[in-house]
Amino acid sequence: MNLIEMFFKGGTMMWPILIGSIIAVAITIEKFISIKKSKVNVTAFTIKIRTILKKKDIAGAINYCLEEKTPIANIIRRGLKKYKFGRKRVTEAIEAAGKIEIGKMEKGLSTLATIAGAAPMLGFLGTVTGMISAFMRIQELQGSASPADLAGGIWEALITTAFGLIVGIPALALYNYFLSIVNKNVLEMERIANEILDVLDETENDFSDDEEIEE
């Protein structure tokens, strides 16, 4: 018996499980693509942006962030655009941009978590309906049912459970994997943002000292 035949033996609960698996695959592909695009050498990026800022070249730092096109670079760029309005505005811009980027990184994860939980439950529901079908068959045959008579209900019970777990277990593993990457990126963004704010403070102080010397 091939997979298609097994699928149709599983009954109606196989369809929502199938739909869930397709959605999970689509989310997985999208997340892997977005992770690849957002990957950045954190050490190199931090050293480069710090070097530019220490030269008091805010415009150069913004242009560098535009070239990188990563979540971390987007956050720093939006913060630097508010540099002339003071540290508070820079911090607020970084926090606002951080929320936006985190939202983008978390996109689809709640759906993936729902599929991870729902697929096994749908499989168990199929098990229940399959057993109900088997017992109804026993009643129809007044207790003289043979194994062949019960096979349909038992097939439905076993197949839906198996397929539900086959979809749910990988979906749960992928959800935890993507969540760990998001958490790691959030920590990196917070660390780099704090470093940039420190550099801006140092630059501003150096600028003030230069003005005092000139006076």
Can you tell me whether residue 84 is helix, strand or coil? helix
The gap from C-alpha 43 to its chain's centroid, in whole angstroms, comes to 24
Specify the DSSP class assigned to residue 97: H
Structure confidence at residue 112 (pLDDT):
95
Q: Where are the domains of the chain?
A: 3-206
The H or E element spanning position 210 is: helix 147-214
pLDDT on residue 19: 94
CA distance 153 to 172: 28
Integer Cα distance of 5 and 171 in angstroms: 24
Q: What is the pLDDT along the chain (215 residues), one digit of tens a residue?
A: 566 777 777 778 889 999 999 999 999 999 998 888 878 788 888 888 888 888 888 889 889 888 888 888 899 999 988 888 888 888 889 889 989 988 988 999 999 999 999 999 998 888 888 777 767 766 776 656 566 656 656 766 788 888 999 999 999 999 999 999 999 888 888 888 888 888 887 766 654 444 433 44
The tokens describing 136, both together, are 């109804």
Number of Cα atoms under 13 Å in the Cβ half of residue 156? 19
CB 46 within 8 A of CB 148: no
**Separation CA 125–CA 104 (nearest Å):** 34
- Where helices occur in 69-146 by DSSP H, the ranges are 71-80, 87-106, 109-140
Q: Is 134 within 8 Å of 153 (Cβ atoms)?
A: yes
Give the pLDDT of residue 148: 62
Using only C-alpha atoms, the chain has a radius of gyration, in whole angstroms, of 28
